[in-house]
Every structure is written in structure tokens, then in C-alpha cells.
Structure 1
Amino acid sequence: MPQSPTTTMTGACAVVDTLAAQGIDRVFGVPGGHTVPLFDALLHQDDVSLVLGRHEQGLVGMADGYNRASGRLGVVTTTSGPGVANMAAAMGSATTDTVSVLAISSTVATGLVGRNRGGLHDLNESIDIMRPVCRAVHRCRSVDEIPQAIADLIDRITNGRPGAAYCEIPNDLLVAEADVDIPAPVARKRTAPDSSAIDKAAAMLSSAQRPVIWAGTGTVISGAGDTLVRLAERLGAVVTTSALARGVISADHPNAVIRNPIKGEAVDAVIHDADVVLAVGTMFRQEDASQWSIEFGGRLIHVDIDPEEIDRSYPADLGIVADAGAALEAIERALPARDPAGPAWRARAREAQDDALAGLRSVGPTEMQAVDMLRAASPHDAVIVCDRCNLGYWAHRCMPAYEPRTFQYPLGYGGIGPALPQAIGAKMACPDRPVVCVIGDGGFQYTGSDLIVAVEHQVPITIVLCNNHCFGAIKAGMTRGYGHADIGCTLVNPNFQRLAEAYGVPAVRVHRIEDFGDALDRAIRSAALNMIELTVDLIDPP
């Protein structure tokens, strides 16, 4: 049923009113000539505010970080042609990392679509740029279609597997008028598991003496943390998580084990020896599954909301298509009374974790010290947003998390630079929580212009800018593979202290690892926008 009676309005007003009806209170946007009507519509209402960005990649990054930190939908609006193309990489990152972002863009006028006549921003079909990087795309063909199209896309990435969605509106429709119905807010619906499959899973788990639960991002999205912990305690299961699901069970819980997602080694041996592995809400991506070298020696139960993920990377003895939380709750209900697995099983897993961490400390004592300082200075509820940079790589390998949605990292698509806009979006979503951005000198120069957005909107994040004057991972890989790093690695950088000063951002430079912890502690406690330039040369992790 429509939320409001049929009303005559422009396409631009239909967009804004639909977003407001769906509970969206802000959009991240950059205007263009084709979307001026949409920005005018934003001006003349009070429900949806605008966060004005500087580049479309950064806009999507902000919406991405907003969703990762809060679970609320991030929305972007931009103009036709180049505006759409500039979003593509960040939209791909949202999709591969299972993050809900909706982008609404204009395109050429209805009569020009697909004709390639050389109009402004016209080059073939811009919607085709979005198809490979989005979960769903839609082009509106009339004003009255706009509200339902937006609602349907929201439903797709809310109640299916999350990712990026794209709505394209020919610019003439933004000024045209029609009678429209604004749909009711999309209701959250959980895909229920098949009851016979749940009974089979419960039977397999009831006799497991060496159970493991592998918790993926789906458990975070579905808010399944409490159920996960209860089930793990009943089973006496070892619990490990994918990198982006860290914190869904606190790292200090006795059943939880941190594993290096790139090279799990001793912890992977524990997983191999499990008699039953319950993998929930995970796709076993390359940088979560030890480059797909991990092996399951026992039986594998794989739960995922996306049927295409079942058997994609590892054959499952039992596949269950369902919302992660709904499946865990059903298994918990169906599981017969049993004693937990003996403590020796969890002790072995903890010993494997400790051995792996000790190995990392022996290889990179300075690097692990930096990770320890980052973790110690950040409260448990702080959102730590890491880029693909030296310190970020080490954090991805082993940094613990204690609450869900507190660790962000560009995992699947793997670009550099998103940490700054993501941190800005995360802080806007969670203003009462500290937010720390860890980014390299190379990555910062992809999205550094977004710093002015934090200044303009008074977003108090702490930025740790790791300045080693190179693309560190590329340098390490080239050296390992070719015996040199003589091309494409060294960076000529600006003076980041003066750059921060130009933006009006307080900044300090830290040359010694011994000084990093105190500097970071002061920066976070200041509750102000600030930057630490860390010049300690950290090696690439093994």
C-alpha cells in the first residue's frame, strides 16, 4: 500500500520524497548540469540533508563507510556520464564487500538514450558501466515509475545479498511532472531456512566433538552475534571469523580465535581437523581462506543468503540458503541437548592462535607493535577504518575486534584510497564513537580531497597517514619476484604537514614507533579532526 495518496510532482521531487519515506536522512552528492533539479528539490525540504562531496569515488566511499558502521543504507547522487564512471571502482568495492549503497544518477534525455548523438555527457550506455559492479541496476522510463523503482532496488539490497544498486533517470524526467504514489518503507524480511535442512544440520552438530563455526559478514549484517555466541557455547565450538566479520564475537571470548586470513597455518590445521564446520554468511574469498589453500577435513555446513555462494569455492556436505541470523536461530532451536566439546579442543585452537601471533611478532616486531598501539589507543567501540597500506595490511592479518562493525577494510575489490571517505561516512553514521582512519601516502593521494568534507561538516576523525614514500606492497612484491623495485614504486609526496595546515587540520609527525602510541592516544582523546603522519618504515607482512 502506498504511504501517501497520489500526488502530482516532478521526477526530482519524487526521488527526494521516496528517499524520505524510506527513512533516508542524508545523501552524499555532487551536482552536475543534469541534476540541478534534484538538488533544488533537496533544498526545498527538511527530511533529507546533503553531504556535498568533491569526487564521486569519495561519495560512494562515504556512503560505504556509513553503511558498514551502522547498517543503515548509504545513498549517493551524481550526474550523468563522467559522474557515473567516477563511481565505478567504489561501487565495485561495496558490492564485493557486501555493503548496501544506492546510487541515483541522471543520464541524457529520454529521446537521446542509446542513440549516441554526442549530447552533453553522452557516450553509449552509461548504465552498462554500472552493471558489472552492482548487485542491481534500473533505468526509469517515466516519472511515475521512479518511486517504486527506488523502493525495489532498496528491497533488493536489503532483503537479498547486499551490495551496490544503481538507479538511472533521464534528465528530462527530473523536471517533468506526473501523478505518483510514494511506496511505504521497505520492510526487513529474513529468508527462512528449509526446516529439513536445519534438522540435518542439527543432527550433524549434535555429535560433533571438534566443532568450528566460521562466521562471515552475513552474521554481522543480520545482527546474529548473540545467537552465534550462545550456539558456540552450547557446542563448545571454536569460532573464527572472516576479516570483515571481526567483532561479531568479541576477540576476548574464550571460544574466539583470531586467524591470519592470508596465511592461517596452525589455525587452519585446527579447522582441517574439525569434524564439523558450520560456515555462516561467508563466501570464502581468497583473502579470507588463506589464498584458498585451507582444507576442510570434516563435514562442511554452508549457510548463505545467496544460493550462488554454496559450493562456489568449497563443496558443502549440506548447503542452506537463508539469512544468517534466521539459520542460526533455527539451528539453536533444533539442536538437542548435549555437552559442549571438551576444553582441550578450544585450548588447542588458542595455542594455534598464539603460535601464529608469535610468528608474526618474530617477523615484524615493529609492525606488530604498531598494531598493538593502534588497538590499545582505540576504545573497543571505536571504528577502525584501514586502507591497503603497510599498517592496514598488518591490521587485516591479526588485529582483534571486540564489537561488530568496528573494522573496515577494502577486501574484495581491493582498491586503495577508500579509507578516508569511509571513515568520514562512518563518523557521520556513528557520531558518538571514535573513528580512526589508517591510510598510506599513496592511497591518501587518491581521495585526499575528501578531507575538506570532514572540515566543512566538522567530522572529528583521527587520520593515521603512513608515509613511507612508496607503494610498499608493490615494492615488496616486485623485490620478491624480480629482485628489484626500480620502477613504479617510489613516490614523490607533498609536505603532508603543510597540506593539513592548508585544510586547517592539526597534524603531528611521528618518526619513532615508541612515540606512536602516546600520539595516537592524545589524538583520539582530543575528539577533534586531526592527523598523525607516521614516518616509521613498516615492512610488508608475510
Structure 2
Amino acid sequence: MTTYSTGGEAVVEALKTHGLTTVFGLPGVQNDWLYNAFYDARDRFRVIHTRHEQGAGYMALGHTLATGKPSVCNVVPGPGALNAGAALATAYGLNAKMLFLTGQIPQKMIGREMGTLHEVPDQPGTLRSLTKHYDRITHPAEAGAKIAAAVRAMNTGRPRPAALEVPMDVLQQRAPIPAQAPVSEPEEEPVDAEGIDRAVSVLAGARRPMIFVANGAQDVPEEVTRLAELLQAPVVGYRTGRGIVDSRHPLSCFLPEARPLWDETDVIIALGASARSALQGWGKGGRSLIRIDVDNTVHGRYGQPEVAITGRLESHLPLFIAELEKKGIRGEDLAEVMPAIHADWKERSSVLDQQIRYLAVIREALGEDGIFVDELTQIGFASRILLPVHRPRTFLSTGYMGTLGYGFPTALGAKVAKPDTRVLSVTGDGGFMFAATELATAVQHGIGLVTVLFNNSQYGNVQQMQRDLYGGKVIATDLQNPDFERFVTSFGAHYGRASSPEELAPRLEEAFESGLPAVVEVVVGDMISVDRFR
């Protein structure tokens, strides 16, 4: 059946068809007709309007990281798209399924450099560089098919953001719109049985394999755990690989914890992971490398693998495990080795006692399945190598992109996705102020995120490097902060204050029990850097 709709209505209908009914964004003149359509569909959509486009991008990022499903960021073109660009770059680095839906100036003005409001040179070029899929909707009738193509792109192969431009005149135009259907599920991919056989043959002669996991393995925690138990292989997850194997499992290792095992490791198994920290920092040496990754361009990037399998872990791991079991391949029992490895790491990392004690309080407050969002701050750095994580998608990290200030707004998006789950953001005073005004968004939309703000009145990590590595040339790293209690409560959010881990525990419980967006400020001095464990 064909109906007449505006381009904005066609876009909204296509989003609804694909279940994309939570949108993080800001309205503006180029998107007026889109927001008119959101208004008419307000009983079916939740539009979280933010105070800055950066916040919209990071909230969409947090939403998809917490769920593994596509999210939507909507901004005006030009400065709006550029403001959200850091979040889009972070989504690209994290393999996140963000639909970046941006406006565009009228079609007849694109590329003419006439000074049209919000015109920038080659916006498509910018978007193409930060996404796996880019397109422009040039007629209302194209909306359904082009949104379906964007969703398909995000859900097939290596997941990464997709970008769609919709010029303002297209959003306003009324035209006949064909009936829309959701994109079909990706076809079941063929399994590389030959590659599995080669991997099994390599492991038949292995004595001490080691498994590395990252976000490509987030949806196969049971299979990874079974493979590890079968091979008696330690599993290393760093940043985006945390929680795939429960930290309480004897074979689960923090990255630096596994370093003493490296000399005896003879086979490296990278599952949806680059394993670059080890391969570049520790050296591959004479070890065999087995890779299973949906992206074939990764295979030779960090050392030539002996076996390279391109495909989804969901398809390949069950066969891999079955073949190992059928051939009776078992690893050397590490029942006596792993307790010593864990004890050694506990002793070596004890120098970070301050971070350990704060993280222990946070872990207790979050419970089994609470979501922790890290940040570029000393507690955030320490969490990557010290915080126990029990479930997939409950440790959200900026990954290699290292975008300071991402944590607080990203955690807001995670809380929108998981309203009944405890979500906690750790941040420093420097990073928090990047998006602190999103407290207004949190209060207005009832987003009950708890943020622990470690305040040392400096860009601490940079200042520490200036002191230690550059002869004390401290510049541009001291910070003048607001009175955070007055700042936080002025928005109507909950505020707490602690000066020790012991004081933090009750303040966290009060914050979670308040049901409000909450900030607990912890005034701290310098902390011992985690850099010694790189």
C-alpha cells in the first residue's frame, strides 16, 4: 500500500519499522520536519534531547554498547555533525552500531559554497571517513530502503556506524511512500570448516595456548568459556574484552596479570580481538597465531597468523569446540598454575592500593550485573586491570580512541538502555566538565545514572607525565573547578561527598536509592600511575 507522507514522516516510519524508537538528538532548522514527525509519533518514540550534539552522540554510543543493538543519533548538519564527530569516531573505534542521522542543507545548495546556514565543505567526506556506510536520502520514497540498507550494513560484517544525510527540503517534501518492511536477518554464513581443521591441528600439538578476546566476542561468553576450559587456556580481556569470561573464573586474566605466562605460551588464539597489546608489547616470537574475526583485514595487521578464519564467532566457535572434543584435544591442567598467577598479580598490583579499595566499593555497589563506564582518569585506567567484571556488556570503555570526557554522557545512554540496571560512571574533574551540562538532560528525562567524580583539580594524568617525564614543566593542567555541590544540586540532581573508600560506600547506596541522577564527589590527591603495568 502506498501512502503520502513528508520525508520526515517517511524517516520516522522507517526507524519504527526497525525498532529504532529511542533517538538522542537536538532539533534545528534543517531537521524541523523530522521533529514534526517525531511529535506526531510521540506515543511510539522517546526523543532524548541533549544540551550539546556531543552529548547526543555519546549517549547513542552508550545505548548501543550496553545492548549490542543499533542506536540513533540525530543532529543538524555542519557544526552539529562536527560537534558530535568525536562520539562518531569513538563509535567507529569501538565497532558500535550507531546510526548517525544528520540533516543537510537544501539539495540545490550542496557543494556550491554559497554560505548557506550550516554548510561545510564535503560533509559526506567527513562522514565516510568515520563510518562503514554512508548515503544521502534524496527523495521521501528512498527513506525506507536507505535506512534498511544502513541497518543491514551495521548488522553484517564488522559492526561500525552508518551515516545518513537527509536534506531539509527532502524532509519537508510530501510524496507517495511505498510500504516498508524491516530488513531481513543476515543469511547464515558458511563455516570455514577447512580453517577449523587447521586450527585444530595446530592446537593438537600445543602445550600452553592463550586466548585473547575483545568486543567481537561479547555475544559468545559461554562458548569462549567452554573453549578455555577445554584447552585450559588463560583468557585475556582488556578494555573491550572485559566480562566475556567472568573475572572469578580461574582462567580469566587481566592483561598484565597474564604477562608471566607469555614465555611459555606457544599458541595465541585471537577471538574477535586484535591482541595488539601483547603482540606489539610482548612480541609474537615463535608462537603460532590463530585468528577468528569477522573482518579479514585484521588478520595480518599484527603478525601473520598460521590460521586465519574470517567469519562470525557465533557460527565458528561451536564447530571449533566440537572438533576439539571429537579429537580428544585437551590442554595441560592449570589447576595449580592459575592460583599462583592470581596471587602474583595481587601482590604486584598492591602498589595501587588506593584504586583497588575504591574499585572494591564500586564493585560491591553495582552487584552482579551493574554497568561500569570507565574514563580517562586514574580510577578508570586502573579499572581496566583491577575491576572484576562478571557479565558481557557491563564494562564500557573508550577503547583505543581515548576520548577524554566521553564517560559521563556515554553512561547516560547506557542507563537509558538499561533503566532497571545500576549504571555507574567514574570520571575525573577534567573529563566530567566536558559534558557536565548534560546533568540537565539527565534530570529532565529522569536518567538515574550515578557518577563518581574524582576531583584533584587537575588534568592529573597529563600533569603527572609533565612532572615525571618532562622535568616538572607543568603547564595548562591545573584546573579551576566550580563548587560541585552547588553545581550538581542546581540542576535538581542528587549530590554526595566522600573522602575515602569507607565513606564512599554509604554515599553510593544513598545515590542509587535516590533514583535521581546523582554525583558523588571524591576529593583526592595524586594516585600512583598504572603505567608501570603497560
Fold agreement, TM-score > 0.5: yes
Distance 1:317 1:291, change over 3 A: closer
Give 1:74-473 correspondences, 5 Å limit: 74-189=71-186, 191-220=189-218, 223-259=219-255, 264=256, 267-285=258-276, 288-289=277-278, 292-295=281-284, 297-335=286-324, 336-338=326-328, 340-343=330-333, 345=334, 347-362=336-351, 364-473=352-461
Structure 2 equivalent of residue 42 of structure 1: 38
Q: Deviations for 1:73-105, whole angstroms, at most 9, x for unmatched residues?
A: 110111121111111111000110111111111
SS of match in other structure, 1:447: coil
Which AA in structure 1 matches 2:231?
Answer: L
- Aligned letter for 1:198? I
Q: 1-side partners of 2:266 and 2:282: how far apart?
A: 18
C-alpha distance in 1 between matches for 2:66 and 2:322 = 30
Q: Aligned-pair distance for 1:465?
A: 0.7
- 1:352 positional shift: 2.8
CA distance, structure 2, for counterparts of residue 313 and residue 441 of structure 1: 36
Output the CA distance in 1 between the equivalents of 2:438 and 2:283. Answer: 39
- Out of 487-496 and 162-171, give the one that drifted further: 162-171
Q: Are the equivalent residues in 2 in contact too, given 1:242–1:282 (CA < 8 A)?
A: no
Q: Deviations over 1:219-245 (max 9, x none)?
A: 10xx21111122222222222223212
Q: Which amino acid aligns with 1:267?
A: A
Say which is worse superposed, 51-60 or 208-217, in terms of deviation: 208-217
Give the SS at the match of 2:23. Answer: strand
Question: Runs of 5+ in structure 2 lacking a partner?
Answer: none
Q: How many angstroms apart in 1 are the aligned matches of 2:402 and 2:243?
A: 21
Output the amino acid matched with 1:283.
Answer: S
Q: Residue 168 of structure 1 aligns to which amino acid in structure 2? A: E
Q: Distance between the aligned counterparts of 1:470 and 1:290, measured in 2?
A: 34
Equivalent-residue separation in structure 1 for 2:361 and 2:56 (angstroms): 30
- Contact 1:67–1:73 (Cα < 8 Å) also in 2: yes
C-alpha distance in structure 2 between counterparts of 1:485 and 1:527, whole Å: 44
Distance, in Å, in 2 between the alignment partners of 1:318 and 1:41 is 51
Alignment deviations for residues 271-300 of structure 1 (CA, whole Å, 9 cap, x no partner): 342222221101234xx4486334354211
Taking a change above 3 Å as real, the CA distance of residues 182 and 280 of structure 1, as seen in their structure-2 partners, is farther
User: Structure 1 residues 294, 375: CA separation in 2 closer, same or farther (over 3 Å shift)?
Assistant: farther
Q: Quick check: 1:274–1:297 contact (8 Å CA) kept in 2? A: no
* 1:471-495 deviations in Å (ceiling 9; x for gaps): 0110111122212142011001111
Q: Please name the residue that 2:489 is paired with.
A: 501
Amino acid at match of 2:13: D
Contact 1:281 1:304 in 2 (8 A): yes
Q: Which amino acid aligns with 1:84?
A: A
- In structure 2, the residue matched to 1:54 is 51
CA root-mean-square deviation: 1.9
Q: How many residues align?
A: 527
**Candidates 8, 12, 30, aligned match of 1:12:** 8
Query: What SS does structure 2 have at the residue aligned with 1:446?
Result: coil
**Within 2, Cα distance between the matches of 1:291 and 1:73?**
32
Which residue identity does 2:176 align to in structure 1?
D
Query: What SS class does the counterpart of residue 143 from structure 2 fall into?
Result: helix
Question: 3-state SS of the aligned residue for 1:214?
Answer: strand
Are 2:18 and 1:22 aligned? yes
- Hey, what's the Cα distance between the residues in 1 that align with 2:390 and 2:178? 44
Shift in Å, 1:346: 5.3
Once the two structures are superposed, what CA deviation does each residue of 1:234-264 show, in whole Å capped at 9, x if it has no partner? Answer: 22222222321211111111222222xxxx2
The alpha-carbon distance between structure 1 residues 290 and 350, as it changes in their structure 2 partners (threshold 3 A), is farther
Q: C-alpha deviations, 1:93-133, integer Å up to 9, x for none? A: 01101111111111111111111111111122222222222
- In structure 1, stretches of 5+ residues that fail to align are none
What is the CA–CA distance in structure 1 between the aligned matches of 2:335 and 2:511, rounded to whole Å?
38
In structure 2, C-alpha distance between the alignment counterparts of 1:289 and 1:163, rounded to whole Å: 24
Q: Residues 14 and 156 (structure 1 numbering): CA distance in 2 closer, same or farther, change over 3 Å?
A: same
After TM superposition, what 4+ stretches of structure 1 lie above 4 angstroms from structure 2?
A: none
AA of the residue aligned to 2:86:
A
What are the Cα deviations for residues 53-90 of structure 1, in whole angstroms up to 9, with x where unaligned? 11111111111111111112110111121111111111
- CA shift digits 1:7-26 (9 cap, x unpaired): 32221111100000001121
CA drift at 1:353:
3.8
Aligned to 1:517: 505
Q: Structure 1 counterpart of 2:65, which letter?
A: R
What is the one-letter code of the residue matched to 2:211?
I
SS in 1 for 2:100: strand
Are the aligned partners of 1:6 and 1:180 in contact in 2 as well (CA < 8 Å)?
yes
**Equivalent residue letter for 1:533:** E
